[in-house]
Structure 1
Amino acid sequence: MITGLKNRSSVKYIYVTVSCNAKTPINRRDLKKNMIIGELSGVNGDAQDLIKELAKMSKVCLVVIDSAGLTTNMSDLESFIREHRNIEKIIIDTLAHDNQVNVVECAEEIVKPKSLFKFDGREELFHRSKMLPTPTS
């Protein structure tokens, strides 16, 4: 996934939340550091690192794999966008599942919060990888 984001979306920084519920408020994620982050190649940090970096940047475009890759909690997303006005766009990359990319213009979305429906849950789970059965002799 990291390589896919870098190649397809030309992202500069990658922040990963290793284990959390998609409804967990973004500001409360990764309060306890997970050592797995250090083992991942090409990752710049976790959700708390992202929040710290957002404070330093002027124009930001977040790219997420599937809307649940950011959150399924619409009210939290609205609050997060209001708090971080420098987030101009959110790109939802679902190319691996349905060959689509959706762009959310954050300034417009705050005016029309119901158009954030893409983040309010999802119809089905997408399987990112599968374990293949081992061949038997």
Structure 2
Amino acid sequence: MNQEQERKVLKDQNGSKVRYRILWILNDEHLNGIALSITEHLPKYQAYVKNLKKNNFTAIGYARESPGEEHQDVRVGLLQKMVKKLYDTLLVDKVFVTISSRANDTITSRDTSGKNAQLTLLNQVHGNTQDLLGYISTSENICLVAIDFAGLSTNTSDLYDFILAHGSIKKIIIDLSASTGFMKYYNRDDIIDNPSILKDFDCRKPCYKRS
């Protein structure tokens, strides 16, 4: 659990100062999910992605941050952690980032005002959402990877239209390892035939941190 340590100072019965720290631990539900992710689901996922690449797929990572008042260093730091996870753990080939957009914003409307200066502070990033759109429009066999549903979109109708309009997107994978230990896999043909599959993305509860 990513939690800043809290230091406290109390006095004992003799009036001496006693220092202690609050220890945060995961509950059993989340602990079991992380254990499964490390020992079972993650290796299967990585083998799956490696096999896709052998079959001429390109794994594209996408990271998103919602608008907020946090300092630039904090926002960039959070996004950089997501980028690192997408490369190191989720084995993507390229990463595209939107610095500030809401999860239910239409994908094609993101970053239309130009490139945010904060984008240049990130390492190993190939551009923003508009750059992603340009890349997939000239590519084939794309597997799009995001960290949790909100990391991509919670607007199911727009997501369906986005997939329908871009035939190069053959697969979507959502990493839920931080919350459930699982990965969710979606095939283009299944989505086109049955749009209700995307109901998973219509998440109303608060989403887990993606970094």
Give the TM-score taking structure 2 as reference length.
0.59
Greater fraction strand: 2
Counterpart of 1:132 in structure 2 is none
Give the alignment partner of residue 26 of structure 1, picking from 91, 101, 107: 107
CA RMSD of aligned residues (A): 1.2
Counterpart of 1:75 in structure 2 is 157
User: How far 1:106 moved relative to its partner?
Assistant: 1.4
Which residue identity is paired with 1:10? L
Counterpart of 1:105 in structure 2 is 187
Whose radius of gyration is greater, 1 or 2? 2
Does the CA-based 8 Å contact 2:147-2:210 persist in structure 1? Answer: no
Secondary structure of 2:179's counterpart equals helix
Which residue identity is paired with 2:98? T
Which residue identity is paired with 1:76? D
Distance 2:126 2:190 in 1: 29
Does the CA-based 8 Å contact 2:150-2:207 persist in structure 1? Answer: no
Does the CA-based 8 Å contact 1:73-1:121 persist in structure 2? Answer: no
Counterpart of 2:93 in structure 1 is 12
- Report sequence identity in percent: 38
Distance 1:46 1:127 in 2: 20
Counterpart of 2:198 in structure 1 is 116
Over 3 Å off, 4+ runs:
none
Secondary structure of 1:90's counterpart equals strand
What residue ranges of structure 2 are gaps of 5+ in the alignment? 1-81
Label 1:40 to 1:59 Cα distance change in 2 as closer, same or farther (>3 A): same
Secondary structure of 1:15's counterpart equals strand
What residue ranges of structure 1 are gaps of 5+ in the alignment? 130-137
Distance 1:77 1:128 in 2: 20
Distance 1:11 1:128 in 2: 16
Give the TM-score taking structure 1 as reference length.
0.89
